[in-house]
Amino acid sequence: MGIGGGAGSAKFLSTLNALRGTRLAAARGARDSEVAQVVTLGAERYFFMGRRARARPEEGTIVTESIKRTMPWRILAALVVACLLAVGGWVFAQDKPAAPAAPAASAPAPAAAPAPPSKPDPAGTATGGIADVTAKEAGKPTLTEIADFAGHNRVSINLMWTLLTGFLVMFMQAGFALVETGFTRAKNVAHTMMMNFMIYAIGMTGYWIMGFALQMGGLGPISTMGGTGVLDSEFTISLFGKDFGLFGMKGFFLSGSTYDVAVFALFLFQMVFMDTAATIPTGAMAERWKFSSFVVFGFFLSMFTYPIFANWVWGGGWLSQLGKNFGLGHGHVDFAGSSVVHMVGGVTALAGAMVLGPRIGKYNKDGSANPIPGHNIPMGVLGCFILAFGWFGFNPGSTLAGGDLRISVIAVNTMLASASGAIFSMFYMWWKYGKPDPSMMVNGMLAGLVAITAPCGFVSSFWAFFIGAVSGVLVCWAAVFIETVMRIDDPVGAIAVHGVNGAWGVLSLGLFSDGTYGDGFNGVEGTVRGLFYGGASQFVAQIIGTTTCFVFIFSASWAFFKVYDLVFGMRVSPEVELEGLDVPEMGVHGYPEVQGPATLVHAMGLSTPKAPAMAMSSERGR
């Protein structure tokens, strides 16, 4: 927009205004009937930037009707308060943190030995030694003190590794925001970006209140972090003479005895995984989802559906115990989250998109689909690269141990699967449609990353490349099937990428795990072996886990979306959807230099930007 002189720019802007007026003319009559308030401000002119214009009687302002807000903030506030009250009892019922140990009787400090003269150490070979070992007598540690120091260092390395890889996963949120925003239209960029932004804050809050406790409250000792065993309360039921863990009961608000360094590190790492699952539906439901509905959904997933299924797989729940209880391999195994994170997000997106319905103009009367391209492919590609980078935290970080040398295998397997996913999606689209679709190459790489997430620690590089290659073709086929056969509108392909390939990932673990890793996983002796390496029972456990994920997550999510839609409504009005969600839902344009001032006056076309009046309908008052 910065090319050309002032006259050319004015001409271009006048053309844009004319085009906008043509586009909104059809909807203007319907909007006029919904106008709830007209405020005349005289010589002054107020633009709507999230504040309500105040009318003053001395200026002759006429207020015809108070603005009706449709956003159910009272309901949301009641929901949050109810959750706080519900878990408050649990918090205060938990045992309190142990009192700090009494300090040992102080002994006279030994005289410090004279420090040797400082010398530079450019090679680093002489830096650090026995004097750096914490000991009662400096420079003369006992065997017990050396062992304590070594154990503390081991836990410190693992703790730091877990935190750093968690930071990488947190940065993946930026990648999701760029991919989803780039693959949607320019008139909705502020709305799409803010969903990806706020799910981080909303999800974290809900997970801190009760999600972490439900997921990890009965985990037991954390072996890589010093054997911390304060997460020791799991709600179980007994069936067939076996205990089935359903959810944890300790760690609400990270209070009581869970005020612990290892627990806090685990919380951070698990929280960013949960947030990944929560952001997936924002892509599939973009461009027609009320922001108020999205806010309530963020609390629902972070406090209920995700923690419950994650407990069954990662928190010591019943799926993880299928091996110990019924001899099915090592139970349902998901190393880094193909089912727990990606399939949960993808299936939730499927349920939400079904209830929400397709975007206006997506399907013709005969059921055929119309393409609705995104506005910025480079943005989507950049987001994909950020996600691929963050996956080095996602998969290797799931060891929770910086000293586990298997992280090199995991990292390389992750890279290879992403490469083959992108390559094979490119070749498939080239062969099938004559052109290598950039958006499908991006989704092919993401599909490969999703699929390798579960088996990354248990397969060879050959199988990693093969798993990614299958994903690259599978995502192309699944995206077309979902759009044309199921007639579900998914603007970014999130269901195909995360839902379908999340399922493929956990099943591939049950096929190709080669028995070189995983001894003692889920409390079962021996390494993890798939069907092709003599572990048929492991494949059965993977099928059970995949089926359970789909049935539970889809049922719970569909019921939530359906009830919310019936009571409050999940979708914006047709007028808002056609105009774009940025101003009506968020109060600003994503691209104001193209779309004009961020005001309801300009967006609704009820007057020119120079008119001293503002009109707001009840639909836009929320």
Strand ranges (DSSP E) for 181-260? 234-239, 242-248
Q: What is the CA radius of gyration of the chain?
A: 28
Reference 514, options 536, 534, 539; nearest CA is: 534
**Residue 45 pLDDT exceeds 90:** no
Task: Check: CB of residue 243 under 8 Å from CB of residue 199.
Answer: no
Question: Which helix (H) or strand (E) covers residue 271, if one does?
Answer: helix 261-284
Question: Which helix (H) or strand (E) covers residue 391, if one does?
Answer: helix 377-394
Query: Secondary structure of 459-527 in the HEC alphabet?
Result: CCHHHHHHHHHHHHHHHHHHHHHHHHCCCCCCCCCHHHHHHHHHHHHHHHHHHHCECCCCCCHHHCCCC
Distance between CA atoms of residues 118 and 127, nearest Å = 11
Reference 302, options 198, 207, 444; nearest CA is: 207
**Residue 621 pLDDT exceeds 50:** no
Domains and CATH numbers, the chain: 152-567 (1.10.3430.10)
Task: Check: CB of residue 464 under 8 Å from CB of residue 514.
Answer: no
Q: Give, as one character, the DSSP assignment of residue 222.
A: B
Mean pLDDT, the chain, integer: 85
Question: Which helix (H) or strand (E) covers residue 40, if one does?
Answer: strand 35-40
Locate 513 and state its tokens.
């795990």
Query: Secondary structure of 274-323 in the HEC alphabet?
Result: HHHHHHHHHHHCCCCECHHHHHHHHHHHHHHHHHHHHHHHHCCCCCCCHH
Average pLDDT for residues 152-173, to the nearest whole number?
98
CB within 8 Å of 105: residues ≥ 6 apart:
none
Confidence of residue 598 (pLDDT cuts 50, 70, 90): low
Q: What pLDDT does 119 receive?
A: 85
Q: What pLDDT does 96 receive?
A: 54
Locate 469 and state its tokens.
């290659």
CB within 8 Å of 71: residues ≥ 6 apart:
290, 291, 292, 622
**Residue 22 pLDDT exceeds 70:** no
Confidence of residue 84 (pLDDT cuts 50, 70, 90): low
Confidence of residue 181 (pLDDT cuts 50, 70, 90): very high
CB within 8 Å of 226: residues ≥ 6 apart:
151, 155, 262
CB within 8 Å of 553: residues ≥ 6 apart:
305, 309, 343, 344, 347, 348, 351
Reference 593, options 16, 11, 8; nearest CA is: 16
Average pLDDT for residues 533-550, to the nearest whole number?
98
Task: Check: CB of residue 513 under 8 Å from CB of residue 533.
Answer: yes
Confidence of residue 23 (pLDDT cuts 50, 70, 90): very low
Asked which of 127-131, 167-171, 502-506, 561-565 is least confident by mean pLDDT, the reply is 127-131
**Residue 175 pLDDT exceeds 50:** yes
Q: What pLDDT does 77 receive?
A: 64
Asked which of 110-119, 155-164, 279-288, 404-413 is least confident by mean pLDDT, the reply is 110-119
Locate 436 and state its tokens.
């290598």
Q: What pLDDT does 548 receive?
A: 98
Which tops the pLDDT comparison, 191 or 60?
191
